[in-house]
Structure 1
Amino acid sequence: MARYTGPSCRLCRRENMELFLKGERCYTDKCAIKRRNYPPGQHGQGRSKVSNYGVQLREKQKVRRIYGILEKQFRGYFQEADRLRGVTGENLLSLLERRLDNVVYRLGFAASRTEARILVRHNHFTVNGRKANIGSIQLRPGDVVELKEKSRKISCINESLEAVVRRGIPQWLDLDKDSYKGTVKTLPVREDVTMPIQEQLIVELYSK
């Protein structure tokens, strides 16, 4: 499976914002965007004019990197969002939010989406009592995500659950910490996406 294996902090600096790709580190003074708030590379501190296309491209790249998705899969999500009823940009964000790895992260079982994808891939979770080890599984209202009994002593998962208060749990999800279980209550709406995303720019980019 193709995936990005480079330094995560470089992506945050390139998008000039915190993407929270490294979990708790992003909340400390060690965060790269706080120490070097300019794009990476030898020309990172130079001035550059950005065209309308460049602004749209950066927005698309930012969302891709937030959710950890490569270009081909991201374009597939956009095409599916365009086929659905409603606003294409909001449909796109809803599809991305309902990925299993994102739900595991949003429920607080992992400190980052990358960590959540690893936990899912290593068979630590079930969906509606069934094996689920693919991060891109689309969840629906009523689906129950549960941490397996044998995985409930993993320190990083318990530490993440203790720190979930800082991030907060979106209204479309419900977490039962005692039973290590989360439920999808409703479909996510635009207001549930707290990251500063301008999805209309992505729609304009792919509509050319």
Structure 2
Amino acid sequence: MTFCPTVIVLAAGRGSRFYGPQRAPRQLDDADMLEATLRQAVASELPVLVVTTPALEPSARSLVAARDVAVLPDVKLPDGSLATPGLSASIAAGVGARPDASGWVVLPADMPLVQPGTLVAVAQALRVHAVAYAQHAGRRGHPVGFAAELYSELVQLPDDSAARRLVARYPSCGVDVDDPGTQLDLESLQDLHALPLPPGPPALAPVPPLF
């Protein structure tokens, strides 16, 4: 059987992080951002699945086949109001849609600067590690990969706290990559114009895991 993990692009639910700078959760609603991130994922030549909302479904389908798009509806709360699914629900939906994959490489849709080679490097690390993540200049970043052996736990994540506990429970492997995009999530593609372009990697202290 060919070893070929699936890249799961998370474009549904409230923004959150396995590793990286903490910020207030937000709902991705930028079609251009999703398309830019998807192009990077497709360029990796790994299988790609997009977990997204009805509003962003057309954008996802413009770059991948309809069978490779999982749409999550809003969740109805006890008071009758609607809320977006959480990170864990999005991961569970993506993993559940590809149960026979060799593993899953999870990429937030607001990180369009992650290079295709980085996705491949993290995917390959899943041959020998249960959890792997991209690491640049000593800092943990994205994407984060999960080996196939974690399937039963990933599809039953009840909440985001459970996702954090899962990542903390298993030894993880940092995959060193020359890719500062592993650290950069954007509010919009306009943020690209404001990014500094230093000649070398910044001297940054490691950031502790949030998951």
TM-score normalised to the size of structure 2?
0.28
Larger radius of gyration: 1
Greater relative CO, 1 or 2 (CA 8 Å, sep 6+)? 2
TM-score normalised to the size of structure 1?
0.28
